[in-house]
Every structure is written in structure tokens, then in C-alpha cells.
Amino acid sequence: MNIIQQYIKEEINPQLAQPINYVSLTFENGESYYGNILNNKKHGFGLYKYQKNDLYEGEWEKDKKNGKGVFLYADGSKYDGEWHNDIQNGYGKYQKDIKQIENQQYVSRIYHKYGHALYKNGDAYEGEFQNGQRNGKGEYRFKNGLKYIGIWENDNYGGFGQLSKNNQIIYEGMWKHGQKNGQGKQFYPDGSYFFGNFQDDMREGKGTFFSNNGDVLEGEWKKGEDQIQCQVTYNSDKTQYFGEQRDGQKNGFGKLIYANGEVYEGQFLNDFKYGKGKYIYYNGAQYVGDWNYDVIQGNGVYISENGEKYEGQWEKNLPNGQGTFIYQNGDQYQGNWKDGEKKGKGIYKYQNGMQYEGLFSKDKKQGYGILINGNLIYSGYWKNDYLPQGNLINTNTNEKYKGQFNQELEMHGIG
């Protein structure tokens, strides 16, 4: 006994009283109809057996299935629900024999409007259907614990929806073609989250990233992880950054404002000050020049809070190499530096016109040097800014002295 014969035997009552408009019809193509007619059209209640052994029993209106009815397919599947103009429309249930769907996708499903679906892989859906696909509002539960609640379009997430797992929201926002597209909020396992625009499942365009440590990054994003322009507020020290960022780090040109009021504006590389930049200190001093991994290194100009100025070479945040320093009182040194001190050859010009040219060490005249003071020329080996003994020439009188000097460079002692 095939499944259609079994269904007829179990569910069709042959003793059903025939109303005036009850007929039993067999068509040339082998299909048959048993039920009510009106004006030569199937109308009322009736059973229709199709050529392929499909079977419908239910309500008809003007030759079309309308109202409630059961459609039994030859493969054993069955739809029991509402119809409109020959289309499954309204509330209903679609069931299919699991043993007969080895190569099929669904265990149960409704083809139109609202229903439930249980899939072979253990997933389940409850919601709206249209044209045999998930369309409209619906909830999809995955076997692995994922759950999507929202709008569907042609069997894909399409519109506003929420994706969660174990009651923890993963993403909430707009979808298109089953991917995050448009405005949305993405939550991460470490507690951080991103709110902004998505394109094809990646962060794209304007958005804000809230880190689990309280840092806030706001700006432009490209291809998921690359940021172009952004604004970052660091929770740990309240420092703010405005500028270019890529791969989650400051890269390119930007401005860093510290909580104490100090400001750096310039180039960055992988979160480090690198390249050309300007740093303004809280006391008003400033440096403009080269940086290397957060260290002042290369060539640059430093102006102190009292107006003193150094211009030259730097290494490890200190003057190193050749440079010129102009002091507050007008004195000027031009020469070699070592770790922020005058060392090596240099020229020191005093504001009063006096000039020393020679060797320095630890910021003092040390070694051979010549001091010119008007018509007086001192030469010799200096020690801690003092010339113990040496030569003196008076260019006006052509007088010469060779001997010892005191701290004021007066001839004193043997000479």
C-alpha cells in the first residue's frame, strides 16, 4: 500500500453524505476530484488527487485552494494549514518524513508566511516565510548555541537583527546578504565593543571602539582593522590622540595631548613618536625636530621656558654632536656637545664681546684654548674654566707675559 492509498484509507470517509453539489470526477490526465462544486468549479470542501499522486483535501473557492487544507505529497511530506489562491498563505505546518530526506535540507518547514522549521543538522527556525524562503521576522537557533533574531531576506540575514550566543550579544545592527552591513554594534569576548559602520562583515567608515580598559577610539576605519583618522581617549592617564592610526596603533601624522597639558604634534610609527615633530612642555619650553622611537634624536631646536635656545644635533634626548646654544644673558656657544654638556672643540662668545676658542669638557674650558678680551689675548692649557699659567699678549703695546695667573686672569705668581 503506497502512502497515498494509506492516507485515503485512514483520512477519507467513504460514507460522507453527498450534498446536492457533491461530485466525483476523473479527468483525462488521470487526476480526480471528490467534493463540492459551484458553477462547475471546485467550491466548498473536496479532495483532489494529482497525477503524481500528490493529494489535497480541504477548502476550495472558485477552483482554487482557499481556506484551510491538507496537502499530502507523494514523497511523504505534508502541509497542513491556510491557503490563498492556490498558495500556502497564513499559518501552517510543513512536515517531512525524516527517513525519506537523506539528501534534503529540511526536516520540517512552512513555505509561506509564518511557521516553524527543524533542520537535519539540529538547527531550528521560527518566523515568517515567503516563496519557500525565510523572509521577514524570524528567530534562528543554531545547534552550537548561536541565535539570530531579526529580519530575513531570501534565507539570509537582511535588515536589523541580533546575533548572540549563550545569551551574550555578539552583534546587533544591520545586515545584508547574511553579512554585517550598515550601522551596528559588535561585542568582543574581552568586554570591548565597536559601534559604527560595517561593510561585508568588516568595520568600514566612521565608528567608535570602546576598549575594556576604558580607552575610547573614534574615527575612520578601513577594511576592518585599519583606521585612517581617529580620536582616542586613553582611560589610564586621560591622554588624548587626534590623527592617523593603522592596525590599532598611531601611524602617520597626529596630535597627542597629555593630561598635564604637554602636547606632541608630528609623525608617529607604531605608537611611537618617529620622524618630524613638535613637543610643547607644561612649563612653556618646546622642541621642534627629529624623533626616533619616542626619543629626541637627529637634528632639532629646543627653546627653554626662559628663552634659551639650542639648535643642533641630538642623541638620547640630549645635545650630542655639533650645536649652538644661546644663553639667556646673550652668551653663545658653538661647537661640540656630549650628553648635554660642552665637550671637545668649541667657541664661546660672551655678551660683553669676550671670546674663547678651544677645548671643553663637562661644560667647562678644559685643555688648550685661546681667550680674547679686547686687546688682551690669553693662551694656554685650561683646567675647570681656569688658566693656571700660560701666555698673555697685549696687542696695543705688544707686551708679552708668560707665567702664572689667578682666577681673575691677573698675572700672579711666577712669570
Question: What was the pLDDT predicted at 389?
Answer: 92
Confidence at residue 15, expressed as pLDDT on a 0 to 100 scale: 40
User: What is the model's pLDDT at position 96?
Assistant: 60
Residue stretches of the chain with pLDDT short of 70: 1-20, 96-113, 226-227, 415
Beta strands in 293-383 (DSSP E): 295-303, 309-315, 318-326, 332-338, 341-349, 355-361, 364-373, 376-382
> How far apart, in Å, are the Cα atoms of 318 and each of 212, 268, 271?
38, 20, 22
* Residue 360 to residue 94: CA distance in whole angstroms: 97
| Joined grid coordinates for residue 215 | 580607552
pTM for this predicted structure: 0.61
Q: How far apart are CA 33 and CA 370, in angstroms?
A: 127
Q: What is the pLDDT of residues 130-150, one digit of tens each?
A: 877 889 999 999 999 999 999
The rounded distance, in Å, linking the Cα atoms of 136 and 377 is 99
pLDDT of residue 415: 59
Q: Read out DSSP for 130-169?
A: ETTEEEEEEEEE-TTSEEEEEEEETTEEEEEEEEEETTEE
- Give the per-residue pLDDT at 7: 32
Q: Does domain 321-415 have CATH number 3.40.50.620?
A: no
Give me 19's grid cell. 450534498
- Three-class secondary structure assignment of 8-75: HHHHCCCCCCCCCCEEEEECCCCCEEEEEEECCEEEEEEEEECCCCCEEEEEEECCEEEEEEEEECCC
How many CB atoms are located within 10 Å of the residue 199 CB? 17
DSSP helix, strand, coil percent of the chain (3-state; round to 5): 5, 65, 35
Note whether 1-84 and 321-415 share their fold.
yes
**What amino acid is encoded at 348 in this protein?**
Y
Q: Which three cell numbers stand for residue 412?
A: 700672579
What pLDDT, on the 0 to 100 scale, is given for residue 14? 39
Show me where the domains of the chain are located: 1-84, 321-415
In CATH terms, is domain 1-84 a member of 2.20.110? yes
At residue 100, the pLDDT reads 32
